[in-house]
Structure 1
Amino acid sequence: MLKDERLKHLKGRLNNLTEEIVLKMLDDMLKREEFKNVCKDEDCLLDMATYALNRLPAKYVATSKGKVFSKIEELEQQHLVDVLSVVTKSIKIVSENAHPNNH
């Protein structure tokens, strides 16, 4: 394999579990009544996810076995509380700065 192809292949095998958890939690939270008027267009969603992901540690896995072990670790109560707190803050920050037509 050429160097660029090898790097592209390796990149495709890496998976950030924090990203999965943040996106799932963001989706679940935005369905709540308290966030019904929050901007949910693609730009706002990307801003919310980016805000949260830049404040949380990445958890990369490369194999299905590693993914299982890491998934168990991710479910620790404190980690979920941290993610919930950061995602909630990301929704509030972005919604306060979104333009009114995006609600």
Structure 2
Amino acid sequence: MAVTNTTIINKMLEEIYVAKNNVDNEHVLRQHVRHIRLLCELLLDEQEKSMTQAQDTTQFSAAEIKMMLGEKGAEKMNQPKGVNPQAKIDHGEANGDSLFDF
């Protein structure tokens, strides 16, 4: 279950309020400032993850694939998966595809 940005910001505001009211007590102040920092990091990490996931779904065009893999690589990418055409090799006097066909 994801936490909304609004919820995180509201928690940050609560921590800021408590920290502001405890300015005289350095230990309590530092504790609440650490909580605020943790909430900031949580918010930033969530945004970075969503940006990374959006970038991972990028599709390459045929021209980009051709540029990266060359002609043969692009042809292989365009073939449906599961179809694997194998070139027949002429073995002279052999009469079949099996290893045991003489």
TM-score between both structures, scaled by the size of structure 2? 0.31
Which structure: greater helix fraction?
A: 1
Higher Cα radius of gyration? 2
Q: Which has the higher contact order (CA 8 A, sep 6+)?
A: 1
